[in-house]
Amino acid sequence: MRLIDKKRKSVNLSPPSLLALGFLSFIIIGTLLLKLPVSNHGNLSWLNAFFTATSAVTITGLSAVNIGEAYTLFGKMVIMLLLQCGGLGFMTFALLAVMSLSPKIGLKQQIMAQETIGQTSLYKVSFTVKGVFLYSLFFESIGTIILTMAWIEDYGFQQAFFYAAFYSVSAFNNGGFSLFADSLMSFSGQYVVIFTISMLYMTGGIGFLVLMDLKRKMSWRKLSPNSKLVLCTIAGLNLFAFTAIWALEANNPLTLGPMSIGDQAFNAWFHATVPRSSGFNSLDVGSMTNASALVSMLLMFIGGGSLSTAGGIKVGTFIIVVLSVIKFLRRSDELTVFNYSIPQHTTFKAMAVVSISAIIIFLGFFSLLVLEPKKSFLDLLFESISAACTVGLSRGITGDLQPASLFVLSVLMFAGRLGPLTLAYLIATPKKSRLTHPSTEIQIG
């Protein structure tokens, strides 16, 4: 009986641990598959296979090798599958599998699901997970059809269809992986291609809860305060970035300078929306001005909406911090959004997310500075933020980094993907102490 009891005893792991193991399992499986002879054309190191798998599962897009040349058709399909798994998330697939077998989910799985996607009831968890899966298939299918039609004359139906499917999955999941060495620079003048891909990564980066809210309400007045706040913030960020990048790059002969006004506007818009997690580029990022690089790094740090395929600290976190600062400067006692009060613990949570994300980036950046003393300060900072915020943009140094630096970037990508989930779980399960302490004043500023 004791032996039976020991066998039946399950390993007690916290939800963050299970999530980390889930993503790590995808990375290990992906690494093994990419190292198979059928997946690559030879001379692919274990480190490059691991780095590609990590980048795909964490939907980042950084790569030390040319994806289009290093991997076979099978290898590219493996990368596409890893992007899909990483974008929809380990828990989404796990819950779909469980719900297909049984209508009931255990208490532990329910808690883990709720903490992962930010819902408070099992019904909402199930509804949200199904919505995530269906929305992904719908938008990726639409993108595949449009891109196939755009490329069919140049590549033929079969190759155009594969390219379209790969880019649709990569774009909607904000993966940023490209089959061409110059990403999308060769398509900078093809409006249909650029517009379709931009719509895919913007839709995937808004957040599934906002998309479902838009579908249900179909009216701005009826939208939830969260949806209104996210949409307004994204619109404001896009407008600011579009104006800034166009103004900063209009006279740059290496980027927008040689283009017509129409092409300048289109590519400025693309690079205004890309840094918030997509990782594609239609311009040479390494040739952009330092001011544009700074704007891009800010956008990468902010990222997209919560419960989306985007990375970063998330739009909601960013705007809550900004509004909290404004509230403090105005000496207001209450933080309100669209006539709704924001709880104080939400502000603390936002501050914690920003602080931890900044610490992760600092540690990774410091490590790269030690390991790569000859590389540019700006290039390494850009690479660190891109990895930690799971964006995938690079100023062209990823392939030149030494193995230890690639491992640091892998850790940053993994931490950036899991950090917000782990933090959400820790904050959602507070431990209150019965002991109270006397208050004191600490000098600030």
The per-residue pLDDT for range 231-276, each reduced to its tens digit, is 999 999 999 999 999 999 999 999 999 999 999 999 999 999 999 8
Which residue's entry shows tokens 């960020």? 237
- Whether 124 shows a pLDDT value over 80: the answer reads no
Residue pair 216/104 in contact (Cβ under 8 Å)? The answer is: no
Please give the average per-residue pLDDT across 157-186, as a whole number: 92
pLDDT, tens digit (0-9, with 9 covering 90-100), for 62-87: 999 999 999 999 999 999 999 998 88
Q: Return the pLDDT at 407.
A: 96
Q: Return the pLDDT at 258.
A: 93
Q: Return the pLDDT at 432.
A: 59
Amino acid at 411: V
Sign of the alpha-carbon torsion through 123, 429, 118, 343: positive
pLDDT, tens digit (0-9, with 9 covering 90-100), for 275-313: 988 889 989 999 999 999 999 999 999 998 887 888 899
Retrieve residue 27's tokens: 């990375």
Residue 120 pLDDT class (50, 70, 90 cuts): very low
User: b or e along 197-220 (b: 16 or more beta carbons within 10 Å of the residue's beta carbon)?
Assistant: bbbbbbbbbbbbbbbbbeeeeeee
From CA 340, how far away is CA 101, in angstroms rounded?
40
Q: Return the pLDDT at 309.
A: 83
Lowest-confidence segment of 24-33, 221-230, 383-392 by average pLDDT:
221-230
Q: Return the pLDDT at 7.
A: 46
Residue 13 pLDDT class (50, 70, 90 cuts): low
Lowest-confidence segment of 113-127, 225-239, 262-276, 429-443 by average pLDDT:
113-127
Does residue 191 come out as left (phi exceeding 0), alpha (psi in the -120 to 50 range) or beta? Answer: alpha
pLDDT, tens digit (0-9, with 9 covering 90-100), for 305-335: 887 888 899 999 999 999 999 998 888 888 8
- Integer-rounded Cα Rg, in Å, for the chain is 22
Helix axes 15-35, 90-101, angle to 10 degrees: 100
Residue pair 301/313 in contact (Cβ under 8 Å)? The answer is: yes
Q: Where are the alpha helices (DSSP H) in 303-343?
A: 315-329
From CA 174, how far away is CA 287, in angstroms rounded?
23
Non-local (6+) Cβ contacts of 327 within 8 A are 334, 335
- Whether 5 shows a pLDDT value over 60: the answer reads no
Q: How many CB atoms lie within 10 A of CB 36?
A: 14
Q: Return the pLDDT at 53.
A: 96
Q: Return the pLDDT at 167.
A: 95
In 3D, which of 423, 413, 351, 355 has the Cα closest to residue 384?
Answer: 413
In 3D, which of 250, 268, 247 has the Cα closest to residue 258?
Answer: 250
Question: Rounded to an integer, what is the distance from CA 101 to the centroid of its chain?
Answer: 30
Q: Return the pLDDT at 129.
A: 73
The fraction of the chain above a pLDDT of 90, given in percent, is: 54
User: Residue 265: phi, psi to the nearest 5?
Assistant: -60, -45
pTM of the model: 0.87
Please give the average per-residue pLDDT across 427-441, as a whole number: 63
**11-20, 74-83, 189-198, 348-357, range with greatest mean pLDDT:** 74-83
Distances (CA, A) of 251 to 129, 141, 254, 261, 289: 46, 38, 9, 12, 10
- Whether 195 shows a pLDDT value over 70: the answer reads yes
Q: Return the pLDDT at 422.
A: 63
Residue 130 pLDDT class (50, 70, 90 cuts): confident
Q: Return the pLDDT at 116.
A: 54
From CA 109, how far away is CA 111, in angstroms rounded?
5
Question: Rounded to an integer, what is the distance from CA 267 to the centroid of its chain?
Answer: 21
In angstroms, how far is the first alpha carbon of the chain from the final one?
64
From CA 105, how far away is CA 126, in angstroms rounded?
10
Q: Return the pLDDT at 132.
A: 79
Q: Rounded mean pLDDT of the chain?
A: 85
Helix (H) or strand (E) holding 336: strand 336-337
Q: Return the pLDDT at 220.
A: 86
Residue 1 pLDDT class (50, 70, 90 cuts): very low
The fraction of the chain above a pLDDT of 70, given in percent, is: 83
Specify the pairing of strand 336-337 against strand 340-341: antiparallel
pLDDT, tens digit (0-9, with 9 covering 90-100), for 372-413: 999 999 999 999 999 999 999 999 899 999 999 999 999 999
